[in-house]
Amino acid sequence: MTDPRLPAAYLQPGTSSFSDFLASQSPDLLPGRRALPQGQVGDLAPHGTTIVAATFPGGVVMAGDRRATMGNIIAQRDIEKVFPSDEYSIVGIAGAAGLAVEMVRLFQTELEHYEKIEGTTLSMDGKANRLSALIRANLGMAMQGLAVVPLFAGFDLRQGHGRIFSYDVTGGRYEEQAFFSVGSGSLFAKGSLKKLYREDLDETGCVTALVQALYDAADDDSATGGPDLARRIFPVVRVITAEGGRRVPDDEVAEIADRVIAGRMIRPDGPGAPLTGGATGGNR
């Protein structure tokens, strides 16, 4: 007869980390623990593309386009790539979409699990480090083409402002100032934000700058989806402030996107920045 009670490992005090517990109890459920045959498998899986994030006084905004590509095919045109990881943080993903979504789910559970067991939330740096550990565990798959590169942002309640962290495939974690972008269109998005971002932008201004940046990314990168006017599919935008996080409703994003597009009808390359700096001020 088997013992019907909860397994001993469940009743043992010790780790507050869900991923550590999963590794000891059901390691097959960990995203990075799968043995793959030799060779590149990156072309088999859809890839998510561009994520942008920027801070404003009092919070941080993250936005992601809606396209997933598989080689030259558009695998999905309304994928969501920006997720809340807990009440005060968001994570956006670029790279192998299936694996990334699974990793986000693990990360969400990890943060919630810690909060429930310890009765308190992890610090912002603690959360960023946990995400780092999850990505590091995926290095083997990353080397075979299934890389996941997230962008993590949140409101640091202790410091009282929004923070952004970027990662590399080895789990390296870097804090970014003001704005950042990851994914295939990130070069163009970052170039765009360089010219558009100002530190004194308010929430709506910040969202507009990110929508502009995604438009510029989609303009030059085939894997990034622009606003889909026929289907009314617009970027997913999430905002975190001291009051917690929320997703900006689709109609608000649509309104901003419509204004951006109207501007592009007149000047397809988007708003021009002054040739010599200082006129608008606030640029880094």
Partner 1 sequence: MSMPFYVSPEQLMKDRADFARKGIARGRSVVTIQYAEGILFASENPSQALHKVSEIYDRIAFAAVGRYNEFENLRIAGVRLADMRGYAYDRRDVTGRGLANAYAQTLGTIFSSGGEKPYEVELFVAEIGDTADGDQIFRLTYDGQVADEQGFAVMGGASDMVATYIKEHYKPDQSLESAVRLAVAALGHTDDADRVIDVDHLEVAILDRTRSQPRKFSRVSPARLSTLLGERGPSTPDEPDPEDTRPGTASSAGGPDDPSDPTDQTSGHVAPLEDPVTGESEPPVAPTSGVPGGPAL
Known catalytic residues are 49
Mapped onto helix, strand or coil, the DSSP state of residue 84 is: strand
**27-49 as b/e: b if 16+ CB within 10 A:** eeebbbeeeeeeeeebeebbbbb
Select from 35, 16, 30, 26 the least CA-distant residue to 137: 30
Is 26 near partner 1 (CB under 8 A)?
A: yes
Binding to partner 1 in span 67-126, by CB under 8 A: 87, 105-106, 109, 112-113, 116-117, 119
- Contact segment (CB under 8 A) with partner 1 among 3-11, 32-40, 57-65, 230-238 equals 3-11
Contact (Cβ atoms closer than 8 angstroms) between residue 117 and residue 109 = no
**226-258 as b/e: b if 16+ CB within 10 A:** bbeeeeebbbbbbbbbeeebebbeeeebeebbe
User: At 39, phi and psi to the nearest 5?
Assistant: 110, 170
Is 137 near partner 1 (CB under 8 A)?
A: no
Q: For the window 233-252, what string marks contact with partner 1 as x by the rule CB under 8 A?
A: --------------------
A 10 A CB-CB count for 263 gives 15
Minimal distance, residue 22 CB to partner 1, in Å: 7
- Contact segment (CB under 8 A) with partner 1 among 19-27, 135-143, 181-189, 275-283 equals 19-27
The structure tokens listed for 256 are: 């901003």
- Which of 10, 38, 266, 267 touches partner 1 by CB under 8 A? 10
Q: Is 116 or 232 the residue whose CB approaches partner 1 more closely? A: 116
Q: Is 112 or 258 the residue whose CB approaches partner 1 more closely? A: 112
Sheet of 244-247: strands edge to edge?
179-182, 51-56, 59-64, 236-241, 244-247
Is 232 near partner 1 (CB under 8 A)?
A: no
Q: Is 7 or 268 the residue whose CB approaches partner 1 more closely? A: 7
Q: Is 6 or 275 the residue whose CB approaches partner 1 more closely? A: 6
Q: Which residues bind partner 1 (CB under 8 A)?
A: 3-6, 10-11, 13, 18, 21-22, 25-26, 29, 87, 105-106, 109, 112-113, 116-117, 119
